[in-house]
Amino acid sequence: MADQRDFEHIEQSLRTGASLVDWPPTARQLAPRVVATLDQPVARRRPSPRWALAAAIVLVLSAVMLLSPRARQAVADLFEIAGVRFGITSEEPTSGSVLDLGEAVDLADLGDLAGFVPRRPSALGDPDEAFFDDSGIVWMVWKGADSLPAADDSGVSWLLGQFVDDGRIVGLKTLGPGVEAIDVSVGGRLGFWITGNPHAFTYIDSGNELKEDSTRLAANVLLWSEAGINYRLETTDDDFTRALEIAESLDP
Amino acid sequence: MEGRPLEKDIEIEPANEQKLIARSRDGDTNAFGTLVAMHQEIALRVAHVVVRDHAEAEDVAQDAFIKAFAALDRFRAGSPFRPWLLRIVRNEALNRIRRRRRQERLALRVASEAVVASGDAASSPEAAAVLADEIRPVFRALDAISVRHRSVLIHRFVLGLSEEETATVLAIPRGTVKSRTARALAALRTELEGETDG
Protein backbone atom coordinates (compact mmCIF):
# COMPACT_ATOMS: atom_id res chain seq x y z
CA MET A 1 0.00 0.00 0.00
CA ALA A 2 2.87 2.30 0.81
CA ASP A 3 4.21 1.62 -2.67
CA GLN A 4 0.88 2.42 -4.24
CA ARG A 5 0.60 5.69 -2.31
CA ASP A 6 4.14 6.64 -3.29
CA PHE A 7 3.44 5.92 -6.94
CA GLU A 8 0.17 7.84 -6.90
CA HIS A 9 1.96 10.80 -5.33
CA ILE A 10 4.67 10.69 -8.01
CA GLU A 11 2.07 10.40 -10.76
CA GLN A 12 0.23 13.39 -9.35
CA SER A 13 3.45 15.39 -9.14
CA LEU A 14 4.18 14.66 -12.78
CA ARG A 15 0.66 15.62 -13.83
CA THR A 16 0.81 18.83 -11.78
CA GLY A 17 4.29 19.54 -13.06
CA ALA A 18 2.93 19.52 -16.61
CA SER A 19 1.24 22.83 -15.87
CA LEU A 20 4.56 24.31 -14.76
CA VAL A 21 6.59 23.31 -17.77
CA ASP A 22 7.67 26.05 -20.10
CA TRP A 23 5.92 24.59 -23.13
CA PRO A 24 6.21 26.23 -26.52
CA PRO A 25 3.37 28.69 -27.06
CA THR A 26 0.68 27.33 -29.30
CA ALA A 27 1.33 28.68 -32.74
CA ARG A 28 -1.96 30.17 -33.82
CA GLN A 29 -0.65 30.42 -37.34
CA LEU A 30 0.42 26.81 -37.57
CA ALA A 31 -2.75 25.59 -39.31
CA PRO A 32 -2.73 28.37 -41.97
CA ARG A 33 0.97 27.78 -42.54
CA VAL A 34 0.47 24.05 -43.00
CA VAL A 35 -2.46 24.62 -45.35
CA ALA A 36 -0.52 27.24 -47.34
CA THR A 37 2.40 24.81 -47.68
CA LEU A 38 0.12 22.00 -48.79
CA ASP A 39 -1.58 24.28 -51.32
CA GLN A 40 1.70 25.04 -53.04
CA PRO A 41 1.85 22.87 -56.17
CA VAL A 42 5.26 21.41 -55.35
CA ALA A 43 4.23 20.61 -51.82
CA ARG A 44 1.05 18.87 -52.83
CA ARG A 45 2.34 15.48 -51.97
CA ARG A 46 -0.78 13.42 -51.67
CA PRO A 47 -0.81 11.22 -54.73
CA SER A 48 -4.13 10.68 -56.40
CA PRO A 49 -5.05 7.13 -57.37
CA ARG A 50 -4.44 8.14 -60.99
CA TRP A 51 -0.96 9.39 -60.08
CA ALA A 52 -0.29 6.19 -58.21
CA LEU A 53 -1.30 4.13 -61.23
CA ALA A 54 0.99 6.19 -63.46
CA ALA A 55 3.80 5.73 -60.97
CA ALA A 56 3.25 1.99 -61.01
CA ILE A 57 3.54 1.96 -64.78
CA VAL A 58 6.74 3.99 -64.58
CA LEU A 59 8.07 1.55 -62.03
CA VAL A 60 7.34 -1.41 -64.23
CA LEU A 61 9.02 0.36 -67.14
CA SER A 62 12.04 1.23 -65.09
CA ALA A 63 12.22 -2.29 -63.79
CA VAL A 64 12.79 -3.60 -67.28
CA MET A 65 15.45 -1.03 -68.06
CA LEU A 66 18.26 -3.35 -67.16
CA LEU A 67 21.68 -1.86 -67.34
CA SER A 68 23.78 -3.53 -70.01
CA PRO A 69 27.10 -4.97 -68.83
CA ARG A 70 28.84 -2.09 -70.59
CA ALA A 71 26.61 0.52 -69.03
CA ARG A 72 26.96 -1.17 -65.69
CA GLN A 73 30.70 -1.00 -66.01
CA ALA A 74 30.48 2.70 -66.82
CA VAL A 75 28.15 3.39 -63.95
CA ALA A 76 29.87 1.24 -61.40
CA ASP A 77 32.73 3.54 -60.58
CA LEU A 78 30.35 6.34 -59.74
CA PHE A 79 27.71 4.18 -58.28
CA GLU A 80 27.02 5.07 -54.67
CA ILE A 81 23.65 4.95 -53.06
CA ALA A 82 22.31 4.34 -49.62
CA GLY A 83 25.79 4.24 -48.17
CA VAL A 84 26.92 1.52 -50.50
CA ARG A 85 29.58 1.80 -53.18
CA PHE A 86 29.42 -0.63 -56.03
CA GLY A 87 32.29 -2.22 -57.81
CA ILE A 88 32.65 -4.69 -60.62
CA THR A 89 34.41 -8.02 -60.51
CA SER A 90 34.81 -10.85 -62.91
CA GLU A 91 35.17 -13.35 -60.11
CA GLU A 92 32.36 -15.47 -58.86
CA PRO A 93 31.55 -14.46 -55.29
CA THR A 94 30.70 -16.93 -52.59
CA SER A 95 27.90 -16.78 -50.11
CA GLY A 96 27.96 -17.99 -46.56
CA SER A 97 25.35 -19.55 -44.41
CA VAL A 98 25.09 -17.55 -41.20
CA LEU A 99 23.68 -14.08 -40.86
CA ASP A 100 25.90 -11.86 -38.74
CA LEU A 101 23.76 -8.86 -37.99
CA GLY A 102 25.19 -7.78 -34.66
CA GLU A 103 23.55 -7.98 -31.29
CA ALA A 104 20.03 -9.34 -30.99
CA VAL A 105 17.88 -6.68 -29.32
CA ASP A 106 14.26 -6.02 -28.45
CA LEU A 107 12.37 -4.36 -31.25
CA ALA A 108 11.25 -1.69 -28.80
CA ASP A 109 14.87 -0.76 -28.09
CA LEU A 110 15.92 -0.23 -31.70
CA GLY A 111 15.06 3.46 -31.68
CA ASP A 112 17.09 4.19 -28.55
CA LEU A 113 20.07 2.31 -29.93
CA ALA A 114 19.93 3.80 -33.41
CA GLY A 115 19.21 7.39 -32.44
CA PHE A 116 16.40 7.52 -34.99
CA VAL A 117 13.08 5.79 -35.28
CA PRO A 118 13.36 2.68 -37.44
CA ARG A 119 10.33 2.23 -39.67
CA ARG A 120 8.41 -0.98 -40.03
CA PRO A 121 6.82 -2.15 -43.28
CA SER A 122 3.15 -2.78 -42.69
CA ALA A 123 3.19 -5.20 -45.62
CA LEU A 124 5.32 -7.60 -43.56
CA GLY A 125 4.00 -6.90 -40.07
CA ASP A 126 6.23 -7.06 -37.02
CA PRO A 127 9.61 -8.67 -37.62
CA ASP A 128 10.57 -11.94 -35.99
CA GLU A 129 13.88 -10.60 -34.77
CA ALA A 130 15.77 -7.33 -34.47
CA PHE A 131 19.51 -6.66 -34.38
CA PHE A 132 21.83 -3.70 -33.96
CA ASP A 133 25.34 -3.88 -35.31
CA ASP A 134 28.39 -1.83 -34.47
CA SER A 135 28.32 0.10 -37.72
CA GLY A 136 25.06 1.71 -36.60
CA ILE A 137 22.72 -0.38 -38.74
CA VAL A 138 19.47 -1.66 -37.32
CA TRP A 139 18.19 -4.87 -38.81
CA MET A 140 14.73 -6.35 -38.84
CA VAL A 141 14.37 -9.98 -39.80
CA TRP A 142 11.37 -11.91 -41.05
CA LYS A 143 11.74 -15.64 -41.17
CA GLY A 144 10.36 -17.92 -43.82
CA ALA A 145 6.66 -18.49 -43.90
CA ASP A 146 4.47 -20.60 -46.12
CA SER A 147 3.97 -17.67 -48.44
CA LEU A 148 7.60 -16.68 -48.51
CA PRO A 149 10.65 -18.63 -49.52
CA ALA A 150 13.30 -18.82 -46.84
CA ALA A 151 16.99 -18.56 -47.57
CA ASP A 152 18.46 -22.02 -47.67
CA ASP A 153 20.68 -21.72 -44.64
CA SER A 154 19.59 -18.75 -42.59
CA GLY A 155 15.85 -19.39 -42.66
CA VAL A 156 15.34 -15.69 -43.30
CA SER A 157 12.97 -14.45 -45.98
CA TRP A 158 13.19 -10.68 -45.61
CA LEU A 159 15.83 -8.51 -44.06
CA LEU A 160 15.51 -4.75 -43.68
CA GLY A 161 18.52 -2.65 -42.70
CA GLN A 162 18.28 1.03 -41.80
CA PHE A 163 20.97 3.54 -40.91
CA VAL A 164 21.61 7.25 -40.92
CA ASP A 165 22.78 8.66 -44.23
CA ASP A 166 25.69 10.73 -42.97
CA GLY A 167 27.68 10.51 -46.16
CA ARG A 168 29.90 7.66 -45.11
CA ILE A 169 30.15 4.54 -47.17
CA VAL A 170 29.40 1.58 -44.97
CA GLY A 171 29.41 -1.07 -47.60
CA LEU A 172 31.07 -2.19 -50.75
CA LYS A 173 28.98 -4.36 -52.98
CA THR A 174 30.62 -6.28 -55.73
CA LEU A 175 28.63 -6.97 -58.83
CA GLY A 176 29.88 -10.11 -60.40
CA PRO A 177 28.80 -12.24 -63.32
CA GLY A 178 25.08 -12.77 -63.52
CA VAL A 179 24.22 -9.84 -61.28
CA GLU A 180 22.00 -7.02 -62.52
CA ALA A 181 21.62 -3.54 -61.04
CA ILE A 182 18.32 -1.96 -62.01
CA ASP A 183 17.49 1.68 -61.34
CA VAL A 184 14.02 1.91 -59.86
CA SER A 185 11.76 4.40 -58.15
CA VAL A 186 10.89 3.78 -54.52
CA GLY A 187 8.17 6.22 -53.54
CA GLY A 188 9.49 8.65 -56.11
CA ARG A 189 13.10 8.31 -54.96
CA LEU A 190 15.93 6.73 -56.87
CA GLY A 191 16.68 3.23 -55.76
CA PHE A 192 18.45 0.16 -57.04
CA TRP A 193 17.26 -3.39 -57.29
CA ILE A 194 20.21 -5.75 -57.30
CA THR A 195 19.29 -9.18 -58.47
CA GLY A 196 20.87 -12.29 -59.88
CA ASN A 197 23.63 -14.47 -58.57
CA PRO A 198 24.83 -14.14 -54.99
CA HIS A 199 26.98 -11.10 -54.49
CA ALA A 200 29.47 -10.51 -51.75
CA PHE A 201 29.14 -7.64 -49.35
CA THR A 202 31.88 -5.94 -47.40
CA TYR A 203 31.17 -3.57 -44.54
CA ILE A 204 33.23 -0.79 -43.16
CA ASP A 205 32.51 -0.90 -39.45
CA SER A 206 32.60 1.95 -36.94
CA GLY A 207 36.32 1.45 -36.47
CA ASN A 208 36.90 1.84 -40.21
CA GLU A 209 37.81 -1.84 -40.37
CA LEU A 210 36.71 -3.86 -43.35
CA LYS A 211 34.33 -6.55 -42.30
CA GLU A 212 33.79 -9.35 -44.77
CA ASP A 213 30.25 -10.44 -44.97
CA SER A 214 29.44 -13.08 -47.48
CA THR A 215 26.32 -14.14 -45.68
CA ARG A 216 23.61 -11.96 -47.13
CA LEU A 217 20.42 -13.33 -48.48
CA ALA A 218 22.44 -13.14 -51.59
CA ALA A 219 20.07 -12.85 -54.46
CA ASN A 220 17.93 -9.72 -54.29
CA VAL A 221 18.47 -6.37 -52.65
CA LEU A 222 16.51 -3.12 -52.90
CA LEU A 223 18.46 0.00 -51.88
CA TRP A 224 17.13 3.52 -51.44
CA SER A 225 17.44 6.59 -49.25
CA GLU A 226 14.69 8.68 -47.75
CA ALA A 227 14.74 11.64 -45.37
CA GLY A 228 18.29 11.10 -44.29
CA ILE A 229 17.99 7.38 -43.68
CA ASN A 230 19.39 4.65 -45.90
CA TYR A 231 17.34 1.52 -46.38
CA ARG A 232 18.34 -1.90 -47.61
CA LEU A 233 15.72 -4.58 -48.13
CA GLU A 234 17.12 -8.02 -48.86
CA THR A 235 15.10 -11.03 -49.83
CA THR A 236 15.09 -14.43 -51.39
CA ASP A 237 11.94 -13.44 -53.25
CA ASP A 238 12.60 -12.64 -56.90
CA ASP A 239 9.40 -10.60 -57.18
CA PHE A 240 10.44 -6.96 -57.51
CA THR A 241 6.90 -5.64 -57.23
CA ARG A 242 6.54 -7.42 -53.90
CA ALA A 243 9.81 -5.87 -52.67
CA LEU A 244 8.58 -2.48 -53.80
CA GLU A 245 5.24 -2.97 -52.10
CA ILE A 246 7.07 -3.73 -48.87
CA ALA A 247 9.46 -0.80 -49.26
CA GLU A 248 6.60 1.60 -49.84
CA SER A 249 4.61 0.31 -46.87
CA LEU A 250 7.01 1.69 -44.27
CA ASP A 251 5.42 3.54 -41.36
CA PRO A 252 5.18 7.26 -42.05
CA MET B 1 -0.25 30.81 -22.79
CA GLU B 2 2.91 29.27 -21.42
CA GLY B 3 2.60 26.94 -18.50
CA ARG B 4 -1.13 26.46 -18.75
CA PRO B 5 -2.61 22.99 -18.72
CA LEU B 6 -3.21 21.33 -22.03
CA GLU B 7 -6.51 22.08 -23.60
CA LYS B 8 -7.86 21.46 -27.02
CA ASP B 9 -8.16 24.47 -29.25
CA ILE B 10 -11.18 23.02 -30.92
CA GLU B 11 -13.50 20.42 -29.47
CA ILE B 12 -14.95 18.08 -32.04
CA GLU B 13 -16.90 14.87 -32.05
CA PRO B 14 -14.94 11.79 -33.11
CA ALA B 15 -17.36 11.18 -35.97
CA ASN B 16 -16.73 14.67 -37.28
CA GLU B 17 -12.99 14.17 -36.92
CA GLN B 18 -13.26 11.08 -39.11
CA LYS B 19 -15.19 13.13 -41.68
CA LEU B 20 -12.41 15.73 -41.65
CA ILE B 21 -9.87 12.95 -42.17
CA ALA B 22 -11.88 11.57 -45.08
CA ARG B 23 -12.11 15.03 -46.68
CA SER B 24 -8.39 15.57 -46.11
CA ARG B 25 -7.66 12.25 -47.75
CA ASP B 26 -9.56 13.52 -50.77
CA GLY B 27 -7.24 16.51 -50.90
CA ASP B 28 -9.26 19.09 -48.92
CA THR B 29 -6.46 21.08 -47.28
CA ASN B 30 -8.88 23.30 -45.38
CA ALA B 31 -10.34 20.25 -43.69
CA PHE B 32 -6.82 19.23 -42.80
CA GLY B 33 -6.21 22.74 -41.44
CA THR B 34 -9.01 22.13 -38.96
CA LEU B 35 -7.33 18.89 -37.89
CA VAL B 36 -4.09 20.81 -37.40
CA ALA B 37 -5.85 23.38 -35.23
CA MET B 38 -7.38 20.58 -33.16
CA HIS B 39 -4.10 18.82 -32.44
CA GLN B 40 -1.41 21.47 -32.73
CA GLU B 41 -0.96 22.04 -29.02
CA ILE B 42 -0.32 18.42 -28.05
CA ALA B 43 1.80 18.04 -31.21
CA LEU B 44 3.98 20.96 -30.14
CA ARG B 45 4.42 19.47 -26.70
CA VAL B 46 5.35 16.03 -27.99
CA ALA B 47 7.92 17.69 -30.25
CA HIS B 48 9.20 19.87 -27.41
CA VAL B 49 9.77 16.87 -25.15
CA VAL B 50 12.35 15.68 -27.68
CA VAL B 51 13.91 18.83 -29.14
CA ARG B 52 13.54 21.11 -26.07
CA ASP B 53 13.42 24.24 -28.15
CA HIS B 54 10.29 26.24 -28.87
CA ALA B 55 11.16 27.29 -32.42
CA GLU B 56 12.43 23.85 -33.39
CA ALA B 57 9.36 22.21 -31.86
CA GLU B 58 7.22 24.41 -34.08
CA ASP B 59 9.23 23.45 -37.16
CA VAL B 60 8.94 19.79 -36.24
CA ALA B 61 5.20 20.05 -35.73
CA GLN B 62 4.71 21.82 -39.04
CA ASP B 63 6.77 19.27 -40.96
CA ALA B 64 5.05 16.42 -39.17
CA PHE B 65 1.61 17.73 -40.12
CA ILE B 66 2.70 17.95 -43.75
CA LYS B 67 4.03 14.39 -43.62
CA ALA B 68 0.84 13.23 -41.96
CA PHE B 69 -1.19 14.75 -44.79
CA ALA B 70 0.96 12.91 -47.31
CA ALA B 71 0.54 9.68 -45.36
CA LEU B 72 -3.24 9.81 -44.88
CA ASP B 73 -3.72 6.93 -47.29
CA ARG B 74 -1.99 4.74 -44.73
CA PHE B 75 -4.17 5.90 -41.85
CA ARG B 76 -6.72 3.22 -40.99
CA ALA B 77 -10.15 4.82 -41.20
CA GLY B 78 -11.99 4.77 -37.90
CA SER B 79 -8.92 4.28 -35.75
CA PRO B 80 -7.77 7.00 -33.32
CA PHE B 81 -6.14 9.84 -35.21
CA ARG B 82 -4.31 11.57 -32.35
CA PRO B 83 -1.82 8.81 -31.45
CA TRP B 84 -1.17 8.11 -35.15
CA LEU B 85 -0.38 11.79 -35.67
CA LEU B 86 1.71 12.09 -32.51
CA ARG B 87 3.83 9.14 -33.54
CA ILE B 88 4.68 10.98 -36.76
CA VAL B 89 5.50 14.08 -34.70
CA ARG B 90 7.77 12.16 -32.36
CA ASN B 91 9.49 10.38 -35.25
CA GLU B 92 10.08 13.70 -36.94
CA ALA B 93 11.51 15.16 -33.72
CA LEU B 94 13.76 12.15 -33.10
CA ASN B 95 15.05 12.31 -36.65
CA ARG B 96 15.86 16.00 -36.19
CA ILE B 97 18.01 15.34 -33.16
CA ARG B 98 19.65 12.13 -34.27
CA ARG B 99 22.86 13.96 -35.10
CA ARG B 100 23.06 15.21 -31.56
CA ARG B 101 21.93 11.97 -30.05
CA ARG B 102 24.46 11.97 -27.27
CA GLN B 103 23.41 15.38 -26.04
CA GLU B 104 19.78 14.38 -26.20
CA ARG B 105 20.45 11.36 -24.07
CA LEU B 106 22.24 13.40 -21.46
CA ALA B 107 20.15 16.48 -21.58
CA LEU B 108 16.59 15.44 -22.25
CA ARG B 109 15.46 17.35 -19.24
CA VAL B 110 12.04 18.28 -20.47
CA ALA B 111 10.99 20.03 -17.37
CA SER B 112 13.64 20.20 -14.72
CA GLU B 113 15.19 23.31 -16.16
CA ALA B 114 11.94 24.54 -17.51
CA VAL B 115 9.76 24.33 -14.45
CA VAL B 116 8.67 27.84 -13.83
CA ALA B 117 6.45 29.38 -11.23
CA SER B 118 3.30 30.00 -13.15
CA GLY B 119 0.17 31.84 -12.13
CA ASP B 120 -1.84 29.25 -14.05
CA ALA B 121 -1.04 26.52 -11.58
CA ALA B 122 -1.40 28.34 -8.31
CA SER B 123 -3.42 31.13 -6.83
CA SER B 124 -0.49 33.44 -6.24
CA PRO B 125 3.13 33.78 -7.27
CA GLU B 126 4.12 32.65 -3.78
CA ALA B 127 1.92 29.57 -3.93
CA ALA B 128 3.25 28.82 -7.39
CA ALA B 129 6.79 29.05 -6.12
CA VAL B 130 6.01 26.63 -3.27
CA LEU B 131 4.37 24.26 -5.70
CA ALA B 132 7.35 24.46 -8.03
CA ASP B 133 9.65 23.69 -5.09
CA GLU B 134 7.64 20.53 -4.42
CA ILE B 135 7.58 19.46 -8.03
CA ARG B 136 11.16 20.31 -8.92
CA PRO B 137 12.77 17.31 -7.12
CA VAL B 138 10.45 14.94 -9.00
CA PHE B 139 11.46 16.42 -12.34
CA ARG B 140 15.10 16.43 -11.29
CA ALA B 141 14.80 12.72 -10.50
CA LEU B 142 13.09 12.25 -13.85
CA ASP B 143 16.29 13.47 -15.46
CA ALA B 144 18.32 10.86 -13.65
CA ILE B 145 16.45 7.75 -14.72
CA SER B 146 16.91 5.95 -18.04
CA VAL B 147 15.63 7.39 -21.32
CA ARG B 148 13.15 4.57 -21.74
CA HIS B 149 11.71 5.04 -18.27
CA ARG B 150 11.65 8.80 -18.65
CA SER B 151 9.90 8.67 -22.02
CA VAL B 152 7.06 6.51 -20.80
CA LEU B 153 6.45 8.65 -17.70
CA ILE B 154 6.50 11.87 -19.69
CA HIS B 155 4.02 10.59 -22.26
CA ARG B 156 1.71 9.00 -19.73
CA PHE B 157 1.61 11.65 -17.02
CA VAL B 158 3.23 14.89 -18.15
CA LEU B 159 1.61 14.83 -21.59
CA GLY B 160 -1.43 13.00 -20.28
CA LEU B 161 -1.70 10.37 -23.00
CA SER B 162 -3.58 7.14 -22.39
CA GLU B 163 -1.74 3.81 -22.22
CA GLU B 164 -2.94 3.00 -25.71
CA GLU B 165 -1.88 6.36 -27.12
CA THR B 166 1.51 6.07 -25.43
CA ALA B 167 1.96 2.63 -26.94
CA THR B 168 1.31 3.98 -30.42
CA VAL B 169 3.49 7.07 -30.03
CA LEU B 170 6.44 5.15 -28.56
CA ALA B 171 5.88 2.21 -30.93
CA ILE B 172 5.81 -0.38 -28.16
CA PRO B 173 3.11 -2.88 -27.15
CA ARG B 174 0.48 -1.69 -24.70
CA GLY B 175 1.54 -4.31 -22.18
CA THR B 176 5.06 -2.93 -22.33
CA VAL B 177 3.73 0.56 -21.54
CA LYS B 178 2.08 -0.85 -18.43
CA SER B 179 5.08 -2.81 -17.19
CA ARG B 180 7.58 -0.12 -18.12
CA THR B 181 5.50 2.53 -16.35
CA ALA B 182 5.54 0.45 -13.16
CA ARG B 183 9.29 -0.01 -13.39
CA ALA B 184 9.82 3.64 -14.22
CA LEU B 185 7.80 4.78 -11.21
CA ALA B 186 9.86 2.48 -8.99
CA ALA B 187 13.07 3.84 -10.50
CA LEU B 188 11.88 7.40 -9.99
CA ARG B 189 11.00 6.70 -6.37
CA THR B 190 14.42 5.15 -5.78
CA GLU B 191 16.02 8.22 -7.28
CA LEU B 192 13.94 10.48 -5.08
CA GLU B 193 14.86 8.48 -1.99
CA GLY B 194 18.51 8.77 -2.90
CA GLU B 195 18.13 12.49 -3.30
CA THR B 196 16.46 12.77 0.12
CA ASP B 197 19.12 10.60 1.79
CA GLY B 198 21.86 12.56 0.11
Neighboring chain A residues of B185 at a CB cutoff of 8 Å: 7, 10-11
Distance CA A17, CA B134 (A): 9
pLDDT at position B198: 52
Taking residues A140-169, report their average pLDDT: 64
Closest CA to B135 of B122, B151, B146, B148: B122
Written in H, E and C, the secondary structure of chain B is: CCCCCCCCCCCCCHHHHHHHHHHHHCCCHHHHHHHHHHHHHHHHHHHHHHHCCHHHHHHHHHHHHHHHHHCHHHCCCCCCHHHHHHHHHHHHHHHHHHHHHHHHHHHCCCCCCCCCCCCCCCCCHHHHHHHHHHHHHHHHHHHHCCHHHHHHHHHHHHCCCCHHHHHHHHCCCHHHHHHHHHHHHHHHHHHHHHHHHC
pLDDT at position B84: 93
Distance CA B106, CA B59 (A): 23
Q: What percent of chain A has pLDDT over 70?
A: 52
Taking residues A108-126, report their average pLDDT: 85
pLDDT at position A144: 64
- Least CB–CB distance from A24: residue in B44, B117, B192: B44
pLDDT at position A33: 86
Question: CB distance A31–B37 less than 8 Å?
Answer: yes
pLDDT at position A181: 63
**Long-range contacts, stretch B165-171, CB < 8 angstroms, 24+ apart:** B165/B80, B165/B82, B165/B83, B165/B86, B167/B83, B168/B80, B168/B83, B168/B84, B168/B86, B168/B87, B169/B46, B169/B83, B169/B86, B169/B87, B169/B90, B170/A108, B170/B90, B171/A108, B171/A111, B171/A117, B171/A120, B171/A251, B171/B87
| pLDDT tens digits for range B37-81 | 889 999 999 998 888 888 889 999 999 999 899 888 888 888 899
| pLDDT tens digits for range B131-183 | 677 788 888 888 888 888 888 999 999 999 999 999 988 888 889 999 999 99
Neighboring chain A residues of B111 at a CB cutoff of 8 Å: 17-18, 20-21
Lowest mean per-residue pLDDT among A109-118, A201-210, A241-250: A201-210
Taking residues B122-127, report their average pLDDT: 56
Q: Facing residues of A141 across strands?
A: A129, A159
Distance CA A21, CA B158 (A): 9
Query: Does residue A12 contact residue A4 with C-beta atoms inside 8 Å?
Result: no
Distance CA B127, CA B120 (A): 11
pLDDT at position A53: 33
Q: Dihedral, CA atoms, B41, B43, B49, B50, nearest 10 degrees?
A: -150
A227: nearest CA partner in chain B: B95
User: Using CB atoms and an 8 Å cut-off, which of residues 124-143 of chain B contact chain A?
Assistant: 128, 131-132, 134-135, 138-139, 142
| pLDDT tens digits for range B11-38 | 566 778 899 999 999 989 989 998 998 8
CA distance, residue A24 to nearest chain B CA (Å)? 5
Across A8-17, A52-61, A95-104, A217-226, the highest mean pLDDT is recorded for A8-17
pLDDT band at A143 (very low <50, low <70, confident <90, very high): confident
Taking residues A46-68, report their average pLDDT: 33
The three-point CA angle A149-A246-A142 to 5° equals: 45
pLDDT at position A164: 77
| pLDDT tens digits for range A203-229 | 444 444 444 444 444 567 787 878 778
Question: CB distance B95–A45 less than 8 Å?
Answer: no
B73: nearest CA partner in chain A: A46
pLDDT band at A63 (very low <50, low <70, confident <90, very high): very low
Query: Does residue A34 contact residue B33 with C-beta atoms inside 8 Å?
Result: yes
pLDDT at position A179: 58
Does any CB of chain A come closer than 8 Å to the CB of residue B162?
A: no
pLDDT at position B11: 58
Q: Facing residues of A87 across strands?
A: A174
Q: What percent of chain A has pLDDT over 90?
A: 4
Residue scoring higher pLDDT (A26 or A216): A26
Q: CB under 8 Å to A152, separation ≥6 — which residues? A: A97
Residue scoring higher pLDDT (A77 or A150): A150
Average per-residue pLDDT for chain A: 64
Taking residues B74-89, report their average pLDDT: 90
Distance CA B118, CA B182 (A): 30
DSSP state of A119: -
Provide, for chain A, the percentages of residues in helix, strand and coil under a 3-state DSSP scheme, each rounded to the nearest 5: 30, 30, 40
pLDDT band at B129 (very low <50, low <70, confident <90, very high): low
Residue scoring higher pLDDT (A184 or B187): B187
- Interface confidence, given as ipTM, is 0.78
